[in-house]
Each structure stands twice: as C-alpha cells, then as structure tokens.
Amino acid sequence: MEFIKPGINIDFLGQRKIAHLLSGALILLAILLLIFRGGPNYGVDFSGGILIQVRFNHSITPDDIRGALKSIALEDSIIQEFGEEGKFEYLIRVNRTDIELSGLSDKVKKSLDSMFGEANVEVRRVEMVGPKVGKDLREKALFAIFYALLFMVIYISGRFEYKWTMSIIMAASLAFGVYIISAIGMSIIWLIAVALLITIGLCWSLRLEYALGAIIALFHDVIITVGAFALTNREVTLTVIAALLTIVGYSLNDTIVVFDRIRENNRRSRGRNFAKVINQSINETLSRTLLTSATTLTVVASLFILGGGVIHDFAFALLVGILVGTYSSIYVASPVLLIWAGQSLEGGTASIKRRGKGS
Amino acid sequence: MSKKLHWQGLIVLTTIIVALIYLTPTISKTLPSWWPNILPEEKIHLGLDLKGGMHLVLEVQAQKAVESHLERMVEDIKYSLRKAKIRYQALKRSGSDRIGLTLIRVEDRKSVEEMLANNFSDIAVESGLFSESDLSLALVLSHKSQQHIKRMAVDQAVETITNRIDQFGVAEPDIRPQGRDRILVQLPGIKDPKRAIDIIGKTALLEFKLVDEDNSLEEALRGNIPPGDEILYQAKGVAGSQRKIPFLLKKRAVLTGEYLTDARVQIDSQYNEPYVSISFDSRGARLFEQITGANIKKRLAIVLDDVVNSAPVIQDRISGGRAQITGRFTMEEARDLAIVLRAGALPAPVKIIEERTVGPSLGRDSIDKGLKSMIIGGLIVILFMAFYYRFAGILADLALFLNIFFIAAGLALFGATLTLPGIAGVILIIGMAIDANVLIFERIREELRLGKTPRAAVDGGYSKALVTVLDANITTLIAALVLFQFGTGPVKGFAVTLSIGIVASLFTALFITRVIFDYLIIERGMKRISI
C-alpha cells in the first residue's frame, strides 16, 4: 500500500515564498503575543506560588469557591475548571509570593471544608513552590535549553558538514561568548539569545548552510509552539519545557532525514541545479516524513485526548511541535540551503559546494 | 543455518531472556523463594505522581545553627575569662558570625588573645578594624568553622528527620540532602500531609528556663527588658479565642532536650487528657535535681520552640529525672510531640520551600488514563503498520512490542522511576520507534523498485538507512540526556523512558527485524517481500 506514489514531484521550493510568508507571520504573531502578554505564562514551577487541585462531589461555581476563600483573604486567586466536564474539578492558583506559602494549602482546605462540608471536598493535588525554588527551577530549565542547544549545534555542524574542527571552533566560540556574558552578569535568557545569535552568525560566516538550515528550523518550531501556548493561555511548566526539548530533538530528526537525502543526491548528480536536487530529495523522503509524523501524531493525539488533565499541556506542546516540525523540515530548513547556491551560480564560479567525504 | 545468523539469533534470544528476568519481579505476585538469591528482585518504581504521596524540599536555616553555636561559645568564653581573671564590661553575640567583647583595661587585650589562642582554635580577634587602645574587640568565628557547623547542621537535620519519619511510620521514605542547605523528603502514599509536615518541620527545641521573679514583667513589657532576660508567651484557650500570656524568663536555658532519653504519651487519670512524659539521662537527671533543689518555690518554665508550654512552681527537689509536658493535646498531637521529642531537636529551624502532594486517587487516575491512551494510540499505529506494510509491518509491530518490553525491563534494570511524563515518553516512543522501521522499509521499497532481488534490497535498504536512522535518533537522545541531567522528579522519568526507548528502538529496528528478514530470505528462501 502506498499513499505517496514513487514518482511524485511536487515543487516545494516553488511554494517557498508562500511558506516563508506563513512562517514569518506565525513567528511575528508568536513574538507579538509574548510581548503583549509580558512573556510566557509561567506556571507555579517557575513563578512560585500555590496550585491546588480540588474535586467536589456536586456542581459548584468558581464564585462559590471564591466566596470560601474570602475568609482567608485569597479571593483574588485564579480559579479554573479542570479536566473532564461534569467532574466538578477545579484548579485554585495563588500567585502571590509575598505571603507565607507553607501551611497555606491547609488553610485553603480548611476554608473549603467549612464552606462545603469536609465530605464533599477532596484535595487531589497541591503544588507549592517558594520564590527561591521557582527561581532555581527557572534557571535549571533555561540551562537545560541552553545545553541542549549547545550540544545539538556541535553535533549538527560536525555531522552535517563533516567538519568536526569547525564544530570545535564553534563550541569554543560559544563557550567564550557565554563566558563573557555570564561574567558581566547578564541573565540566562540573554545567554540563550546571544548563544543563538553567535551560532547563526558563525554558521553564516563559515557558510555552514546545512547547520544554518537546521538551526533556523529548530528555532522556528520552538517559537511557534511557545506562541501557541501564549495564544491558548496555557502555562509553561517543567514538563512543558521537557516537551519543548523533545520537539527540538524531533525537529532535527526530521530535518536530518531530508538533508541526508539532499547530500546523497547532490553527490550523485554533478552539475545539476541544486534547487532541483533539493526538490527531488524532499519528494523522495516525503512518504517517510508524512508516515512518521502521522504515527507520532496519532499517539500524541491519543495522549492529548485521553491522557487526563495533568499531562494535557505536555501533549499539546508535542502536538503543535510535531506538526510545525514536519512542516518546517520541508518548507523552512531546505530552502535555507539555497542562500549561497544562488550566489555562486550567478558568480559563475564552482557550481555548488559539494561535500563527498564521510557517510 | 549460517554461522552469522546463528550468533545473531542467539543475541536476540539472550536479550529477551535477560529482559524477562528483570521484569519478572514486577509482573509476578509471588516470586519463588530461591529467586532473590541469584536473580534481581527489583521492581519498577512508581513515581509520587502515580503512586500518590508527598515531595518536600526543606531549607535548613543553617545560619541559625552558627548563631546558637556562638551563644554557647559566649558561655564558654565567660568561664575562661573568669579563670584567667580578665574583667570585662560586656560579652555577647553580635551578628551572625562574631562575639563582641568590651574590656575594662586595655592591657588585657594581649591576655585575651592568648587565652583565645590556647583554648579556642576556631575563633580569633578581628584585626585591623580596631585600634590598639580600643576596649571593644570583635571575636570572629573562622569561615572554615562556620562552614563545618552549617554542614553538620544539614547532616544532623537529615538524620533527625529520618528518625522522626521512621517513628511516624511511612513505607519507603526517601530523605536526603540536596545542594548545600536543602533536604529532599519524599513520602509515598502519605494520608495526612499536614501531620507529616508538622512532624518534619517542628524544630522541637525543648528548654527549661527560670522565670525572672526579681524584675517586673510590666516594666519589661514596656520595653525595659533586663539584661539576660527575654519575654516569651504561652498560648491559652482554643483556636479562634486564643489569649497570649507573657512571661519574663531568664534567657539562659538551665536544661535542654539534649539530655532526654525518652518521651511517651500518657493519660492523665484525673482529666482523662493525654500528656507527654519525658525522662532524662543520668546527667540530665542530676542537673534537673540541682536546679529544682536550688529554686524551690520559684517557677520553672518549660519552653518548646520559644513558646511557653507551662510554668509550674517548683514544690520540691525533683530526683529521678522525670518531667511531664501537659497541655490541651489531642491524642494525635501528644503522640506527634512524643515522636519529635524522642527523635531530638533539629539543629536549626527548617523551612518548607517546595511541596508537591498528589492524592492516591489522582495517581490512580493518571495511571489509568496514561495506559488507556497508550493502548488506544498504540493499537491504531499497529493496525496501520500491518495494513500499510503488510508482512513487514507486522515485523515492525513485533519490534514495537519488544521495544516496550525492553523499556519496562530497562526501568527495572536501572532502578529508575516510572512517572506520568515517563508514561508519556513511552507513548511518544511508540510513534517514534516506528520511524526507524519506516525509514528502512521505504528504502527497501526503493531498492525493490529498481529491480533488485529481495536479498539485495534488504541489504541495500538497511545499509543506506543506517546512518540516517542513527543520526535522527542521536538528536533526540541528546535532548533526553540533557533533560535527565537538569530535570527533576517527573521530568527525569520522561528522560529515562525516552532514552531507554531510543536505544531499544535502535536495537529492535536495526538488529532484530534485520535478523528475521535475513532468516526468512537466506534460510527459508523467501522470494518475494511483502512490504
């Protein structure tokens, strides 16, 4: 059985203008949303505070809960229905970190007990994160993102370009740049931004187009996923960060498959138009790309629909990330390879850079 | 059978058997009695988010331990100064790392320095700040010594909390230091989180202090607290209508809980109320006898964590080293107080800076929902593969089963913890493991289209796809390993299943399915590949 016929030849590169417009719009939307919302919507893990998941055995409105919390001056808490409909489950979120947090969940429970009766309220989950721990976790998550990026960049520039010396230079300049930044005491957010800029700059100046393509695609996927979180007003928690890093891995995975094929075809077809080679490679791997995405999306969708509230946001991140990742490996990563190809064609010098070593 | 295939088959079989052995303790209810002697008996651990329970991070206020060390030192130095016949105006702790000493004669500076050098190795007169003619000296505790006290405070707190939890009765608690001044406490399946927090977090510093009856309490309340005294309160009445009764006490504790050997709950026969009876060791008993003997008709306050519990009048010299702590305790409160007193005081107060509690019903729900989505998602993928790739698809499905089986065995082998994100990781692997097979199968199809024989097509398919399959998985593996390094609890669980899953899927897709293909083509002479 075949969904994608072997001889298929879709002009993906021809559609790249539309694709770039779409990607650009999505990224712009994501960034605007983030600015408008004042950054990602951090969960208790990162912002500190208390999250309490309660289940009632009869119907109740958020205002009823608010009324009960009035007695302990927490009526300004965020109250949200949670999980399946008709289960009367709610999340109570206290964002304030100026009050004493330990023992607070007990106070909340007591005030709910006295309002609704002890037998009718079940506290199912409490997450209390003090401001110090929140800051630590934020730092930890950012370091995880940073190191994941660092190792991926080293791997990509080494593996894609078969230039391990280059990747060592890259790692060294990254380490140096990061050292400078941390020495002048800039925050880790800037550290990541600068590391990304250094990487893109290095790829650009060293003409590592495969690495550049992969990194741009990866950045594209992550920022759009984060934007989707802002759009749907979801909270960024520790598990969501785990999902984001997985997306980074997955996005690269997809890109690598296409790039490997481009390199293989490029070796074989001396002198042929590079754009044609790219198009042919995308078409050849299209069946695999779509199949893998389909199976992965199927299981993740199943997790999203059936997995329950606790894992819902995690599944959502994967769902968006995999969709965007599949699209970007076709429409974003590959066209980047053409940046210098056009130049060298016009210049009439050596047709296209060719790499034959390795693999 | 060819020798190569023979060996490969053997490797596959051995791996499966080993995995089965590691999984048996988790699957079977009862193991044969000889099993633990020669084979692993480790089960797959469930994380707190699946089992239900409490995760706490405590911060030890270790600086307080340094301060109380300095307070004790003040007493020792006082004694040494008296012995060396050095007179002084004032001697007390100032700040968190020093003791202030004001002398009467400048000439004594030298002898103070000598005395310190001889008797106290870890404290020295701060040089430079004061001129030679100054009467005030600052005695600074060495940095090394401070660090040592702090480290000891954390270690001792871990030990004390472990003792308390053991007596409280929790199955498989996990208590360990984390970082410089933090303690991680994990209590699976705890029913009453508040009680556990009370027991863990109570400093339980028991002190006996004499009530200062020579000075006026009223005057002290107005702000003129006599030197060496302090005001502490006793809480009276039930919650809601509490009154606080002030007491003017001598700051120095005449006796502390460190001499305590036992604490148990007893019932007052008169009021039928529980109280805690404590007994001291011989040295504590002797001290107690001395104090009570010397202060008859005076009041002695029993102070627990800076709250006055009671302040009875000493009627007579008390020998035998017994005392009782009364109060309007419930049975449970009295029991918990006895536990914390028996386990000893924390060397410094602790503060809860992170708490995550998952009720057992939510954990159960998470397992059910996780498994349900895994089964349904998995079934769709399995059916699809069989439909799309026919026989080869069924091979891939077999590889998928083995993959999940290996992940489970890997969890048992490494003693790793299965968490809810961990289950999500397994689900994700179901989708991603198929990828390696798809890559290979698509290549084989391409080779077949070029008119190659089944054997050559399988050969070419596997060898061409190999690099790509490895590459594609390495990036995800990098992400998983970084997550493992930086992640906490549940996220770590995700990283573990993802990492094991990736390695397992490489093994099943690149090795096991290949062996089966080779067997069918070379040994069974299969002429046509159903793919």
CB within 8 Å: A298 and B380: yes
CB within 8 Å: A295 and B57: no
pLDDT score, position A321: 94
Residue numbers in A near B387 (CB within 8 A):
1
Is the Cβ of A46 closer than 8 Å to some Cβ of chain B?
no
The SS3 of residue B358 is: strand
Q: Which residues pair with B208 in a beta bridge?
A: B255, B302
Please state the rounded mean pLDDT for residues B44-64.
91
In one-letter notation, the amino acid at residue A355 is R
Q: Tens digits of per-residue pLDDT, A115-135? A: 888 888 888 899 999 888 888
Domain-located, residue A358: no
Residues A190 and A299 in one domain: yes
Chains A, B: CB pairs < 8 Å: 231
Question: What's the CA gap between A7 and A9, in Å, rounded?
Answer: 6
Query: Is residue A102's pLDDT more than 80?
Result: no
**Percentage of chain B modeled with pLDDT above 90:** 31
Residues A202 and A84 in one domain: no
Residues A148 and A25 in one domain: yes
What is the SS3 string spanning B172-222? Answer: CCEEEEECCCEEEEEEECCCCHHHHHHHHHCCCCEEEEEECCCCCHHHHHC
CB within 8 Å: B365 and A152: no
Query: Is residue B146's pLDDT more than 70?
Result: yes
- End-to-end Cα separation, chain B, in angstroms: 24
Count CB atoms within 10 A of the CB of residue A48: 24
Count CB atoms within 10 A of the CB of residue B124: 15
Which domain, by its residues, includes A155?
Answer: 13-42+133-347
β-strands A121-129, A49-56: how paired? Answer: antiparallel
Chain centroid offset of residue A175 CA: 23
Residues A176 and A91 in one domain: no
The pTM of this model reads 0.84
β-strands B45-46, B417-418: how paired? Answer: parallel
pLDDT score, position A97: 66
Please state the rounded mean pLDDT for residues B512-521.
90
Residue numbers in B near A291 (CB within 8 A):
388, 434, 438, 442
CB within 8 Å: B479 and A253: no
Residue A162: pLDDT band by 50, 70, 90 thresholds? low
Question: Which domains, and CATH codes, for chain B?
Answer: 3-51+361-523 (1.20.1640.10), 63-146 (3.30.1240), 202-357 (3.30.1360.200)
Instruction: Assign residue A73 the CATH number of its domain.
Output: 3.30.70.3400
| Residue that is last in its domain, among A129, A150, A172 | A129
Tokens of B376: 């349904």
Q: Which residues pair with B277 in a beta bridge?
A: B264, B324
Q: Tens digits of per-residue pLDDT, B426-455? A: 999 998 888 889 889 988 998 998 889 888
In one-letter notation, the amino acid at residue B127 is S
**What mean pLDDT value characterizes chain A?**
82
| Residue that is last in its domain, among A129, A162, A182 | A129
Q: Tens digits of per-residue pLDDT, A21-50? A: 999 999 999 999 988 888 788 888 888 888
Please state the rounded mean pLDDT for residues A324-339.
89
Query: Is residue B472's pLDDT more than 60?
Result: yes
Residue numbers in A near B476 (CB within 8 A):
246, 249-250, 252-253
Is the Cβ of A1 closer than 8 Å to some Cβ of chain B?
yes
Domain-located, residue A357: no
Using CB atoms, pick whichever of B362, B388, B478 lies closest to residue A155.
B478
pLDDT score, position B129: 57
Question: CA nearest B439 in A: which residue?
Answer: A288
pLDDT score, position A351: 40
Task: Please answer whether residues A275 and A338 qualify as being in contact, where contact means their C-beta atoms are separated by less than 8 angstroms.
Answer: yes
CB within 8 Å: B377 and A300: yes
Residues A118 and A159 in one domain: no
pLDDT score, position A69: 85
pLDDT score, position B1: 58
Query: Is residue B457's pLDDT more than 80?
Result: yes
Please state the rounded mean pLDDT for residues A301-311.
91
Instruction: Look up tokens 């097979």; give the residue.
Output: B437
| Residue that is last in its domain, among A129, A157, A186 | A129
Residue numbers in A near B485 (CB within 8 A):
144, 147
Q: Tens digits of per-residue pLDDT, A80-90? A: 888 777 788 89
| A residues 259..298 contacting B (CB < 8 A) | 260-261, 284-285, 287-288, 291-292, 294-298
Using CB atoms, pick whichever of A105, A144, A301 lies closest to residue B486.
A144
Most A CBs within 10 Å, among B471, B473, B496, B505, to test the A interface = B471
What DSSP line would sit under B293-339, residue for residue? HHTTTSBEEEEETTEEEE-PBP-S---SSEEEE-SS--HHHHHHHHH
Q: Tens digits of per-residue pLDDT, B305-340? A: 888 888 888 888 888 888 888 877 888 888 888 888
pLDDT score, position A357: 40
pLDDT score, position A161: 65
pLDDT score, position A270: 72
Domain-located, residue A6: no
What is the SS3 string spanning B211-260? Answer: ECCCCCHHHHHCCCCCCCEEEEEEEECCCCCCEEEEEEEECCCCEEHHHE
Question: What's the CA gap between B303 and B308, in Å, rounded?
Answer: 4
Considering B36-50, B302-316, B401-415, the range whose residues carry the highest mean pLDDT is B401-415
Residue B132: pLDDT band by 50, 70, 90 thresholds? low
Task: Please answer whether residues B255 and B291 qualify as being in contact, where contact means their C-beta atoms are separated by less than 8 angstroms.
Answer: yes
Domain-located, residue A141: yes
pLDDT score, position B15: 92
Most A CBs within 10 Å, among B182, B353, B364, B423, to test the A interface = B353
Query: Is residue B53's pLDDT more than 70?
Result: yes
Chain centroid offset of residue A338 CA: 26
Residue numbers in B near A288 (CB within 8 A):
435, 438-439, 442
Question: What's the CA gap between A47 and A36, in Å, rounded?
Answer: 18
Residue A57: pLDDT band by 50, 70, 90 thresholds? confident
- The ipTM of this complex is 0.86
pLDDT score, position A345: 42
Residue A188: pLDDT band by 50, 70, 90 thresholds? low
Please state the rounded mean pLDDT for residues B253-262.
87
Q: According to DSSP H, which parts of B239-330 are helical? A: 282-294
Domain-located, residue A353: no
Residues A112 and A214 in one domain: no
Query: Is residue B108's pLDDT more than 90?
Result: no
Using CB atoms, pick whichever of A103, A242, A308 lies closest to residue B365.
A308
Residue A350: pLDDT band by 50, 70, 90 thresholds? very low
Secondary element (H or E) of residue A187 = none
Count of domains forming chain A:
2
| A residues 306..345 contacting B (CB < 8 A) | 306-308, 310-311, 314-315, 318
Question: What's the CA gap between B81 and B76, in Å, rounded?
Answer: 9
Residues A232 and A318 in one domain: yes
Residue A94: pLDDT band by 50, 70, 90 thresholds? confident
Domain-located, residue A359: no
Question: CA nearest B182 in A: which residue?
Answer: A133
Residues A33 and A57 in one domain: no
**Which letter does DSSP use for residue B510 in this model?**
I
Task: Please answer whether residues B231 and B221 qualify as being in contact, where contact means their C-beta atoms are separated by less than 8 angstroms.
Answer: yes
Residues A147 and A124 in one domain: no
CB within 8 Å: A310 and B420: yes
Residues A99 and A235 in one domain: no
Question: What's the CA gap between B255 and B286, in Å, rounded?
Answer: 11
Instruction: Assign residue A304 the CATH number of its domain.
Output: 1.20.1640.10
Query: Is residue A182's pLDDT more than 90?
Result: no
Query: Is residue A353's pLDDT more than 60?
Result: no
Scored b (16 or more CB within 10 A) or e, A256-275 reads bbbbbbbbbbbeeeeeeebb
Tokens of B478: 């990098």
Domain-located, residue A68: yes
Choose between A110 and A355: higher pLDDT.
A110
Tokens of B32: 């044969």
Residues A326 and A190 in one domain: yes
Chain centroid offset of residue A289 CA: 19
**What mean pLDDT value characterizes chain B?**
87
Residues A88 and A228 in one domain: no
